Structures are given as structure tokens and as C-alpha cells.
Amino acid sequence: MAGDLLDNRGRGDVRWSWPPIHPEGRKFGVIAVGVSLVFLLGLDWEIVGWPLLLLSLGVFAFFRDPERVVPQDERMIVAPADGLVSLIAEVEPPAEMIVDDGSEHAGLTAGKVTRISIFMSVFDVHINRAPIAGTVRRVVYIPGSFVDAGLDKASEENERQHILIERTDGLKIGFTQIAGLVARRIVPFVKPGDTVGVGQRVGLIRFGSRVDVYLPAGTDSKVLLGQKVIAGETVLAEIGTQKLIEGVAQ
């Protein structure tokens, strides 16, 4: 169904299929299978080999890369990551997205905006996607520590990578891939100057992490704390819309 047009009037053809494994993760799965076979067949240590074989299946599952149906509406900002909305706060964007980087393209404007933080557990899909269509203006990697990605301070202390995308009308969205307790590698698929479509794959973070999205000024979240979101599908916000939305956990 990749590339097929699907809509809310029932048009289109959908069939379930096994999600493919992203090439970035295949080598880890093959290594895990190889180690488990050494214990099972070479050393005859079944007590170790079988758990390792199950773990190798988990590694393949971690790097699954399912197709997503991406809303095609320029007013919408979609989630760049699967996971739990763990924080929503009014903050200043990171300095790396604001300061003059020596290019011809300005960064984000200083001033508080809404930041939505999406926490990805090891059970979530870890392929990250573009929240809007446009041109990648910045990809800034910053080394750091590996505190719990669920903590607010992870935005400033952890290993992270900022990505800034600008639309043709000048609207900019910045988002940050943040490594967590287990994650140790942020892998970009894009570089400055690349043109991306909304929902296009732009990178991944290995083994548990978080993504922060900085909404434009005058735009509020359409998702709630504690809500599960899906990368490339869930609408995080509608540009220029400010409205209090409440929910009840039940």
C-alpha cells in the first residue's frame, strides 16, 4: 500500500502485512541470531542459547519499520515518533535552533513556545519521521549524558540531535532526538539541504529514547499528557490553533 491514496471516505485498498525490518537493524538481529546459534549448536548450552534466540527476535522487532498513512493537510503537524506524550510545557527552543549558524537561513525565533515530549520505550517503533514537509535547514548533533529520557532535564543534558525543517512559506518546525538510559546512538537519515515530505523517515534512535517537538508560536497541542501517538499519523497540532483540550484517564 506504500504510496497509495487513502482517505476518510473509505477509498483505497488496505491489507495487513508483516512490517519490514529497517536495514539499520538487520545486522544487529543477525549478530544476535549468530551468537544464540553458537550457544545452541556449538556449545550445547540450551539454558543460554534459547533465551538469546528469543532476544534476537526482540532485536528484529525493535527495528521494525511499518508503513504509515500520513495526513496530507498543510495545517497539520504530525508526530515524529511513536510513544507516550510524557511532557507538555512552555519553553524556549534550544539555542542551537535559534543562533545564527553561519548559513543563509535563519533559525527559530526566540520566545517561549509549546514543547511536546514523546517518550519511546523499547517496545515502540524507533523510526522517526518529519512532522511537516519542507527543507532540512539544520542537523545539529550534541554529545551528552544518558539520564532517564522521561526527565525534563534530558532535553539539556543527554546526547541529542536537533533537526530544523522549513516549509516553502517560511514556517519552521524544530524537533530533537534525545538518547535515553539505554540508547547510545542517534542515526540521521537526512542532512541540511535535503527536501522531505511530511511523515518521511528522517532518522532513528536505538533502544529507548525521546523526541521533543517545538510548535510554532500561537499553536497549542492537540494531544494530551499520557496519550499514545503514532509517528507520521497522529496529528500533534493544527498550525495557528490555540485551544485548551482536557482528557480523563480511565
pTM: 0.88
Query: Quick one: pLDDT at residue 146?
Result: 63
Question: Comparing C-alpha atoms, which of 113, 115, 132 is closest to residue 217?
Answer: 113
Half-sphere exposure of 249 (CA within 13 A, CB side): 5
CB 77 within 8 A of CB 237: yes
Among residues 86, 117, 155, 209, the one annotated as catalytic is 209
Chain segment 88-141, per-residue pLDDT in tens: 999 999 999 999 988 889 999 999 999 999 999 888 999 999 999 999 999 999
- Main-chain phi, psi angles of 29, to 5 degrees: -65, -40
209 as an active site residue: the answer is: yes
Dihedral sign (CA 205, 61, 53, 208): positive
Chain segment 90-101, per-residue pLDDT in tens: 999 999 999 998
Question: Comparing C-alpha atoms, which of 177, 96, 178 is closest to residue 137?
Answer: 96
Element (H or E) spanning 177, and its range? strand 172-179
Spatial separation of the C-alpha atoms in residues 217 and 78, rounded to whole Å = 16
pLDDT at 149 exceeding the cut of 60: no
Chain segment 207-218, per-residue pLDDT in tens: 668 999 999 999
Question: Comparing C-alpha atoms, which of 91, 93, 30, 82 is closest to residue 57?
Answer: 30
The pLDDT-based confidence of 192 (bands split at 50, 70, 90) is very high
Query: Quick one: pLDDT at residue 145?
Result: 67
Chain segment 226-239, per-residue pLDDT in tens: 999 999 999 999 99
